[in-house]
Structure 1
Amino acid sequence: MRHFIYKTLAQNGAISSYTMYGPWIQTKRFVSSGLKSPEKQSLTVSYLTDSCGLSLEQAISASKVVKIRDTEKPDLLLKLFTSYGFTKTQISSLVSRHPPLILARPETNIRPKIEYFRSLGFRGPDLPKIICSDRSILLSSLEKQIIPNLDFVKDIVGTNENLVYALKHSSNVFHFNIKKVMVPNIATLRAHGVPEQHVAKLIMMQPRSLLLKTDLFKEVVCEIKEMGFEPMSRSFILAVKCMSIISKVKWEKKKEILKSFGWSENEFLSAFRVQPMLMECSEEKIRDVIDFLMNKAGLKPLDVSRCPNLFLASVERRMIPRYAVLKVLMSKGLIRNDIHLVWALNPRKQDFEKKFVTPFIEDAPEVIHAYQGKIGCDGFSN
């Protein structure tokens, strides 16, 4: 099959050009002609499939933008990646996404970047993971872009540990012009009175939220203030984080799900002010939670909007078992039927067990089975 593909490419006299990204190699043009092209393409394709783990289709596609004439440099590159703990899957992904990488100079262009991230505190699987997370890491200049960008972020978050924490949440800062994007957005937050420690916290939680276009970021901040958020509060930056990374289309879809269950605009705003991360939940998660709380547990929109933390909890692992426990206790008259269900479902695990499980094990041993999810929870209503 491969012989047929190579022969066909040769007969067609395929012409391919490719641009080598980064400082490793200059742009070149290769013209396939005669019998030399199939031989060189055969080496490229076979190396990419056999040594780099690309599929035949990926290798043929990559061979249009890169030509391997000998394997000395590629072998050294693969050996370098392996020495830092990169898996075959990670190496294959890197090369398939950036074929010119296979011709990079391992010691002068790749190792210094990996060592830099290692010096920040990335260890074990986290080191190759951060390198693979963003294409611009291996394509950008270490001295002119990567180090200046991360030095700027570190100046705000304070320590390498905090910087690593931020980069694990989002590595987008590598290919942005920090001075043109992040600096004005930080200035906007400061102008509205957001404390420095909250700015740092926002960067640690989601640096991508500060990479929104400056005019759009200003709109987000103003809209959050109009919703009633206080800039000095931690909930303000949680709202900024949420609104700046969710598109308007997805935002409206999530609101429509809530409204389809009878929520008013005021009930939505009340819930969002209490727990902004509500809107970071997927549409499916929001629908599952609201369906359980309103259709199964019989709660009203106002009840749920007062305790939106429940949207961050698991229906299967938390709500259903707790609901079943309360059902057992009510059926035996061990707790009042008018208990406020939404607050009974919300406490920490230890607090719920202390109040509703441990004290009743002797009088109602079924609570153990209920808490383990072995008893259904239909039929209970608030």
Structure 2
Amino acid sequence: MLKIICRRNFASVSKLHLLQFHFCSSVSTSSSGYDSGNGDPFAVTYFSERLGFSRDCAIKAYGLVKFRSSSNPDSVLAFLEEHGFSDTHIKRLIQRVPQLLTLKPQDNLLPKIEFLRSLGISGDDIVKIIAVAGFFMRRSLENRIIPNFVYVKDMLEIREGCSRCNKAVS
């Protein structure tokens, strides 16, 4: 079921976009459009020092996310740690979806975690889902995640009903 939800949620995301940070070590600074002539911007330093990104990965992430203060990124990282994410999970998640650092934990992240909990998903499984499918956290809960869940649930109920009918006919 999770596979179906993920497919529907990520149908519009190209494979290249999903994998852009998977091989960070192959990214070159010359292809990123970043000019380091005047020193590194705050966000590049933050990605390198706080998250342990290589300089090339930090510059690539900076191309997608710019911030001048650590207050919101630190609150996102603290939120993830409070919800059971290890340092490795967090680093991989932010490498894949650096835009998460711009979200407000209580407004954007918490409702999605609470929704997953309401489905009976354990805390460890929630961490696994988010660590693997970080783009899930950027989707709208009301407009995308819940409608997709309802769609999948309805499809599973239809299939279950049909299999009962097929058994009864046989």
Normalising by structure 2, we get a TM-score of: 0.67
Aligned 8 A contact 2:97 2:135 in 1: no
Instruction: Report whether the alignment pairs 1:85 with 2:50.
Output: no
User: Highest relative contact order (Cα 8 Å, sep 6+), 1 or 2?
Assistant: 2
Q: CA deviation at 1:78?
A: 0.4
Equivalent positions of 1:119-134 (< 5 A) are 119-134=118-133
**Counterparts of 2:54 and 2:36 in 1: how far apart (Å)?**
21
Instruction: Report whether the alignment pairs 1:232 with 2:166.
Output: yes
Aligned 8 A contact 1:45 1:60 in 2: yes
Aligned 8 A contact 1:53 1:89 in 2: no
In proportion to residue count, which structure has more helix?
Answer: 2
The structure-2 alpha-carbon separation of the partners of 1:121 and 1:52, relative to structure 1 and needing over 3 Å to count, comes to farther
Q: Which runs of 5+ in 1 are unaligned?
A: 12-34, 159-185, 187-193, 200-230, 234-382
Q: CA deviation at 1:157?
A: 4.2
Q: CA deviation at 1:79?
A: 0.5
Q: Partner amino acid for 1:146?
A: I
Q: Which runs of 5+ in 2 are unaligned?
A: 1-28
From 196, 206, 217, give the equivalent of 2:161: 196
Aligned 8 A contact 2:93 2:132 in 1: no
Partner of 2:25: none
Q: CA deviation at 1:113?
A: 0.8
Q: CA deviation at 1:120?
A: 1.0
* 3-state SS in 1 of match to 2:35: helix
Per-residue deviation, residues 19-49 of structure 1 (Å, max 9, x unmatched)? xxxxxxxxxxxxxxxx5xx35x2x2122112
Instruction: Report whether the alignment pairs 1:9 with 2:8.
Output: no
**Counterparts of 1:58 and 1:153 in 2: how far apart (Å)?**
36
**Counterparts of 1:44 and 1:52 in 2: how far apart (Å)?**
11
Aligned 8 A contact 1:77 1:105 in 2: yes
CA RMSD of aligned residues (A): 2.7
Q: Partner amino acid for 1:53?
A: G
Q: Partner amino acid for 2:96?
A: R
| Aligned-pair identity (%) | 35
Aligned 8 A contact 1:44 1:67 in 2: yes
Aligned residue pairs total 135
The structure-2 alpha-carbon separation of the partners of 1:152 and 1:94, relative to structure 1 and needing over 3 Å to count, comes to same
Aligned 8 A contact 2:130 2:137 in 1: yes
Q: CA deviation at 1:68?
A: 2.1
Partner of 1:58: 57
The structure-2 alpha-carbon separation of the partners of 1:53 and 1:157, relative to structure 1 and needing over 3 Å to count, comes to farther
- The structure with the largest alpha-carbon Rg is 1
Partner of 1:247: none
**Counterparts of 2:130 and 2:89 in 1: how far apart (Å)?**
10
Q: CA deviation at 1:156?
A: 4.8
**Counterparts of 1:139 and 1:88 in 2: how far apart (Å)?**
20
